[in-house]
Structure 1
Amino acid sequence: MELDAVGKAIVQYQLVPLVHQANLGLEVTMHRVDSHGCLAATRHPHALGSAQQNQQLRPGFSASALKFSTPVRRDIPALMAYLNGLNTAARRTLGEGEQLWPLSSTPVLPTDLATIPLADVDQIGYQRRRDLARKYDIQKLMTTGSHVNLSLNETLFTRLYTETFHQQYHSYVDFRNAVYLKVAQGLVRMNWLIQYLFGASPSLAITDTTSRHQRSSVQHPDGRYSQVTGDYTSIDRYVAKLTATVRDKQLLSVSDFDGPVRFRSNGQLATMTRQGVYYLEYRGLDLDPTSPVGVDANAVAFLRLLASYFVMMPALPVEMVPQVNIQADQLTQQVLAENPTTASVQAVPAAQVLEALADFVKAYNLPNEDAVLLKQLKKRVTDPKTTLSAQIAMQADPLAWALKQATRYQNAINERPFELAGFTTLDLSSQQLVQQALTRGVRVDIVDAPANILRLTKLGRSQLVVNGSGTDLNPQALTTVLTNKAAAKQVLAEHGVQVPASQTYHTANQLIADYDRYVQAGGIVLKAADESHKVVVFRIMPERELFEQVARQLFEQTPAVMAEEVVVASSYRFLVIDGRVQAIVERIPANIVGDGRSTVKALLDRKNGRALRGTAFKWPQSALQLGTVERYRLDSYHLTLDSVVSRGTQILLREDATFGNGADVLDATDDMHQSYVQAVEKLVADLHLSIAGVDVMIPNLYAELVPEHPEMAVYLGIHAAPYLYPHLFPMFGTAQPVAGQLLDALFGNED
């Protein structure tokens, strides 16, 4: 394992970690199909917008094809997480009965292939697709797969060039090109092994039950729509050959080159030698049908490892490249044509390559996950039936199996519709905003997952978002002030709206000392003065012992407690986006309703067993608890957990109605009298807020708010980063599209 000059310099300057820190991107194409595996007859999902606006989720060759494109990521788990998010977001836009075809082999195509509808994004694109369909076999154009884009760490290039190679190369671009060239040559030579390990299309069409199975019918030359091969002798010759094939009309354009590796730059092909190669595109991966996203992270990791290896290994002598490339193509063709369930004639060389890579990993202290990966891949060499292609080939009915996979993946997105795969470390509101962002082509970068800080970027414009709705559309100083409930209430009072009287306590003993005063007042609201969600309401004061217990429990969780007068009315949250009330929910305190047969415990379990109920702020509707306050409330009804509640009787387990205490959330957007909407919008405008959540107690949402009776709307609080998810997942009523409305406020409605 003799290193070349580049490899030796990398070791000398301790740059091996940089070699492995490649930047990776994925492009994955999948078909939309119906429940029978036939191409979906519907147009590209409207929610995904146009290809010009959405480069992340755009049409492919046919109207049924959907192309997923991730931004560049250095970390493979982060890359796969983004792809998972894109895949889930896209699936949730599909029409009724539609799903994504999990194979590179074509689904059920119409008898007359000329009737396949092509993607019709714009006139130029549509004409190009028509030209492709006329020139090439349309069935081969209908196969799918994934491309891996790989660029080496730029710091690696600059260090090596500055330290050593500025003396050996005419320019920095020449040096970069030389390194990318030998990596590309290596990937071409190892294409046969990549196909053996990850091939997953034993037949070109799923309906083909007569042709002999292959390791990959899609990647085999007979399955490629273009037979043009690349010249990897030099960048100049690569450019010259592709240019000539277009001139000779072998290709319609350079983008039709269908070889396993492409050189990519930021400019035109003709200027690549001068501007330099920016990244490599490996185009030879079949879809992995055992993954809902169609990509095996192990395949991406293996390609990265191969690239790292070839960066440090000697390049082929120039005079040997053409012959070696021919041999590599022949070897790839041989392996691809093999029966996937039998041992390859190249099993021994395959094992030797994997062993050499294992030695490379060990010698240069590459991450242990690479060593683990190679051990797993060796099993595919020793037992060919463990390869993906063999698993598919052994299915008695491949179409039925593929449809079963497709249905399972599609159903899975609705098991927890409030979560977005790949982004579950974020809070619920942030996940919903990310889902909408991905469907609209907005790039999402997680700045800080625990703090729920996102950077959203579209068409070169970026916006920071905190906790799903906190943005710089609001004044920073006021945003900070509103996190304190006492300060927020003072701000509200200064703007002339009705607020309940209150007092802030800093010790439990101070609060307990005022117990008798609150008994005379007829009730109390206790809430944490900071950003936490702790609230307790007693409309009738409890016995002193219970009050002391609750007060001390609160102070164990927060340093200050605000005691507030009780307002007897219904609780509403107004969500304001871009200065307008976009959604309103009513919050009904945690409760159970008897059916005349079930015990209290059974009623609790039944309600908590509903699909959207779970841990507060992790699920859209918080589960009902049985804490100190809830047990006190049951006692007030003279009930135990074993009591049977009469039919239709509602038992309130709490008197506060908050998102974290088990309240029922009902959409009230269309029911609220416009006078309250106008009042809230005026308040928010006076505060110069663009985004806000306003909590208001209203006795009758249908009665007009009049100046003579300000008590008809008592304001409890205002939030500069309000939750989005309650409006998206109400217990009853219509879900409001508030995440999309927030994106409109951030970027404008450009679709």
Structure 2
Amino acid sequence: MSIHSLTFSNRLAALSQPQFQTSLPNIKHGVEREALRVDPSGGLATTNHPEALGAKLTHDTITTDFSESLMEFITPPEKEPKTTLAQLADIHKFVYENIGDETLWPMSMPCFVNKDTCIPIAQYGSSNVAKMKEVYRTGLHNRYGSTMQVIAGVHFNFSFSDEFWQAWCDLHEVENNMDNRSLYYFDLIRNFRSLSWLIPYLYGASPALCQSFLAGKENTFPFKKLGKGTLYLPYATSLRMSDLGYTNSEQSALNISYNNLSSYVSSVRAAINTPSDQYAAFSSNEKDGWQQLNSNVLQIENELYSPIRPKQVAKSLEKPSDALENRGVSYIEVRALDVNPFSPLGIDENQFYFLDVFLLYCLLKESPKFTQPAYDESEHNLDAVVIEGRKPGLMLTHEGKAISLTDWSTELFTELREVAKTLDEANLNAKYSAAVEREFEKVTDPSNTPSAKWLKTLIDHEIDNSTLGLELADEYKKYASGLNYLHMTQDMFRQQAVESIQSRVQIEQADSKAFSDFIQDYFAQ
């Protein structure tokens, strides 16, 4: 039997077998939630990352992304969504207790920012690996500007269990090994990319932004103005995912392949090793000053923007592409989620259950290899939805033919309901079906989408994005103060902070190379 010969119906029916019913409840998730620290007036906090939260370089749970002000909270892989949300709540509570009168910005698009130079790049210490992280971020600042880099998102990590993969490979009559698991994960990834437009439609929550975000930038969007300084597009879902936000037009020429692990790794490596005339203007050596790690199209793999990534846990100083090549795909990272501004944690329980259904569907569905036209079609559809996803009668393109977003979504949800039933049966509940129906309400009535709700609140009250953001930031801080720790105690967080600082110091003391030699050796591997 061919590895791809089974149809969606065949695979769905097979999930009723005992080996799948016992393994489906073992799906694991983790969350990486980004959040800007803001001062009491709603401006970007320019204070350093609080010492009480530990060392950003070595802390497993609380770190920063691009900026000192852009925090990142990380939860470990867990089966139960409630467990992950409780862990996330513990992290929020401890952070709020240690940032004084600052709060966490509750949305993806940043608060009022004066200039790029006012955004402090994250500092990780004096070690070579710390300096590498800083130089990489300096390169991002020089290439794209810092404002784009302080857009926040939520990354949803997802993996199937070993037991599931054994049953899946048995079904397809292939060996359960790294290569075949990776092949199937890439099947999932291609289907996700083809259908990725659905995610900003359902969860996009950034139809508006502070006009300071566009200072000095050219754009051709027909923005409308609201309040003192808020710009919005009437039908936008996720400006974060548009060319204004967390994408990079300079990477549009990259031909990253998602057809299998080998082609993906080789295409990413090609981008990392392809010189860029544009970026050659920034120095990348000790003599002229480190303005970036190198002048290639990508400095490192992390610079590649994508709504979904194949992932493998990397060892110390191991490149992500090497980790994938050496040990295959172990989980996938969904990167298309806006921060949910209607949740104190940036994500809610319903999203977990729906994403489980959607990602399992992406595995079950037939997944033809990407051709350039098919890839371009997926990008066009995503672009259309982030800018005008709620526009009545919006047309997308499916396999070269025009179809309305509503009709395509309705077809999709017919099959998603079947997948949800199977997950309900395996988990002995009805939460998956309930999640699907709740999301389908957004298809039948776009006013139920978070982007529509956010925009309606702004317009009805004639208030700025920043005003609503600050109100929610204060509300969520008060909410967190009333929570009890459920998984981590305050003392455990404090101990984690101390240990992370000790680990950072050990790394610094162990350094024996000049930074330029360290970088040369890293890229020579």
Matched, 1:80 2:85: yes
Matched, 1:101 2:105: yes
* Higher Cα Rg, which structure: 1
User: Structure 1 pair 435/274, CA: closer, same or farther in 2 (3 Å)?
Assistant: closer
Cα displacement string for residues 617-652 of structure 1 (whole angstroms, at most 9, x for unaligned residues) = xxxxxxxxxxxxxxxxxxxxxxxxxxxxxxxxxxxx
Cα displacement string for residues 389-410 of structure 1 (whole angstroms, at most 9, x for unaligned residues) = 1122221212111110001111
User: Structure 1 pair 343/80, CA: closer, same or farther in 2 (3 Å)?
Assistant: farther
Range with greater deviation from structure 2 (80-89 or 273-282)? 273-282
Cα displacement string for residues 349-395 of structure 1 (whole angstroms, at most 9, x for unaligned residues) = 11221222112323673541111111111111122122111122221
Question: What residue in structure 2 maps to residue 433 of structure 1?
Answer: 491
Question: What residue in structure 2 maps to residue 254 of structure 1?
Answer: 301
Distance 2:438 2:211 in 1: 28
Question: What residue in structure 2 maps to residue 286 of structure 1?
Answer: 338
Residues 89 and 480, structure 2, Cα contact 8 Å, conserved in 1: no
- Identity over the aligned pairs, expressed in percent? 22
Question: What residue in structure 1 maps to residue 327 of structure 2?
Answer: 275
Question: What residue in structure 2 maps to residue 532 of structure 1?
Answer: none
Residues 63 and 119, structure 1, Cα contact 8 Å, conserved in 2: yes
Distance 1:377 1:438 in 2: 38
Q: Which amino acid aligns with 1:238?
A: Y
Question: What residue in structure 2 maps to residue 35 of structure 1?
Answer: 40
Residues 217 and 223, structure 1, Cα contact 8 Å, conserved in 2: yes
Question: What residue in structure 2 maps to residue 642 of structure 1?
Answer: none
Question: What residue in structure 1 maps to residue 467 of structure 2?
Answer: 400
Shift of 1:341: 7.5
How do 1:333-344 and structure 2 match up within 5 A? 333-338=383-388, 340=390, 344=394
Distance 1:202 1:174 in 2: 41
How do 1:48-59 and structure 2 match up within 5 A? 48-59=53-64
Shift of 1:125: 2.0
User: Structure 1 pair 339/310, CA: closer, same or farther in 2 (3 Å)?
Assistant: closer
Question: What residue in structure 2 maps to residue 388 of structure 1?
Answer: 450
How do 1:9-408 and structure 2 match up within 5 A? 10-12=15-17, 14-95=19-100, 97-110=101-114, 112-122=115-125, 123-161=131-169, 163=170, 168=174, 172-205=177-210, 209-213=230-234, 214-227=236-249, 228=251, 230-248=256-274, 249-267=296-314, 268=319, 269-270=321-322, 272-316=324-368, 318=369, 320-338=370-388, 340=390, 344-345=394-395, 346-362=405-421, 365=425, 367-394=429-456, 395=458, 396-397=462-463, 398-408=465-475
Q: Partner of 1:28: helix, strand, or coil?
A: strand
Residues 218 and 224, structure 1, Cα contact 8 Å, conserved in 2: yes
User: Structure 1 pair 341/293, CA: closer, same or farther in 2 (3 Å)?
Assistant: farther
Question: What residue in structure 1 maps to residue 215 of structure 2?
Answer: none
User: Structure 1 pair 440/99, CA: closer, same or farther in 2 (3 Å)?
Assistant: farther
Residues 311 and 332, structure 2, Cα contact 8 Å, conserved in 1: yes
Q: Partner of 2:33: helix, strand, or coil?
A: strand
Question: What residue in structure 1 maps to residue 508 of structure 2?
Answer: none
Residues 48 and 441, structure 1, Cα contact 8 Å, conserved in 2: no
Question: What residue in structure 2 maps to residue 597 of structure 1?
Answer: none
Shift of 1:288: 0.7
Distance 1:106 1:134 in 2: 19
5+ residue gaps, structure 2: 1-5, 126-130, 213-228, 275-295, 396-404, 505-525
Distance 1:128 1:383 in 2: 43
Shift of 1:147: 0.4
Q: Partner of 2:388: helix, strand, or coil?
A: coil
Residues 30 and 67, structure 1, Cα contact 8 Å, conserved in 2: yes
User: Structure 1 pair 52/399, CA: closer, same or farther in 2 (3 Å)?
Assistant: closer
Matched, 1:413 2:471: no
Distance 1:53 1:141 in 2: 21
Shift of 1:164: 5.4
Q: Partner of 2:29: helix, strand, or coil?
A: strand
Question: What residue in structure 2 maps to residue 664 of structure 1?
Answer: none
Distance 2:372 2:17 in 1: 32
Residues 191 and 332, structure 1, Cα contact 8 Å, conserved in 2: yes
Residues 143 and 204, structure 1, Cα contact 8 Å, conserved in 2: no
User: Structure 1 pair 440/325, CA: closer, same or farther in 2 (3 Å)?
Assistant: farther
Shift of 1:6: 5.7
Q: Partner of 1:61: helix, strand, or coil?
A: coil
Shift of 1:343: 6.6
Residues 30 and 100, structure 1, Cα contact 8 Å, conserved in 2: yes
Residues 264 and 280, structure 1, Cα contact 8 Å, conserved in 2: yes
Shift of 1:295: 1.3
Using CA pairs under 8 Å that are at least 6 residues apart, name the structure with larger relative contact order, 1 or 2: 2
Q: Partner of 1:66: helix, strand, or coil?
A: strand
Distance 1:434 1:259 in 2: 35
Residues 159 and 330, structure 2, Cα contact 8 Å, conserved in 1: yes
Distance 2:413 2:390 in 1: 19
Q: Which amino acid aligns with 2:328?
A: G
Shift of 1:411: 2.2
Cα displacement string for residues 253-302 of structure 1 (whole angstroms, at most 9, x for unaligned residues) = 11111101111123441452442111111111100111111112222222
Distance 1:4 1:413 in 2: 45
Distance 1:352 1:206 in 2: 38
Q: Partner of 1:30: helix, strand, or coil?
A: strand
Distance 2:271 2:247 in 1: 15
Shift of 1:2: 4.1
How do 1:540-689 and structure 2 match up within 5 A? none
Q: Partner of 1:218: helix, strand, or coil?
A: helix
Question: What residue in structure 1 maps to residue 225 of structure 2?
Answer: none
- Counting helix residues as a fraction of each chain, which structure ranks higher? 2
Shift of 1:113: 1.3
Residues 183 and 307, structure 1, Cα contact 8 Å, conserved in 2: yes
Residues 33 and 39, structure 1, Cα contact 8 Å, conserved in 2: yes
User: Structure 1 pair 136/257, CA: closer, same or farther in 2 (3 Å)?
Assistant: same
User: Structure 1 pair 3/353, CA: closer, same or farther in 2 (3 Å)?
Assistant: closer
Shift of 1:344: 4.7
Distance 2:16 2:117 in 1: 57
User: Structure 1 pair 385/12, CA: closer, same or farther in 2 (3 Å)?
Assistant: closer
Shift of 1:312: 2.7
Residues 420 and 432, structure 2, Cα contact 8 Å, conserved in 1: yes
Residues 179 and 311, structure 1, Cα contact 8 Å, conserved in 2: yes
5+ residue gaps, structure 1: 424-429, 443-457, 460-751
Distance 1:362 1:116 in 2: 47
Shift of 1:25: 0.7
User: Structure 1 pair 153/118, CA: closer, same or farther in 2 (3 Å)?
Assistant: same
- Counting strand residues as a fraction of each chain, which structure ranks higher? 1
Shift of 1:178: 1.6
Q: Which amino acid aligns with 1:326?
A: D
Question: What residue in structure 1 maps to residue 222 of structure 2?
Answer: none
Q: Which amino acid aligns with 1:306?
A: F
Residues 217 and 336, structure 1, Cα contact 8 Å, conserved in 2: yes
Residues 80 and 297, structure 1, Cα contact 8 Å, conserved in 2: yes
CA RMSD of aligned residues (A): 2.7
User: Structure 1 pair 341/321, CA: closer, same or farther in 2 (3 Å)?
Assistant: closer
* TM-score, normalization by structure 1: 0.54
Distance 2:360 2:411 in 1: 18
Q: Which amino acid aligns with 1:26?
A: V
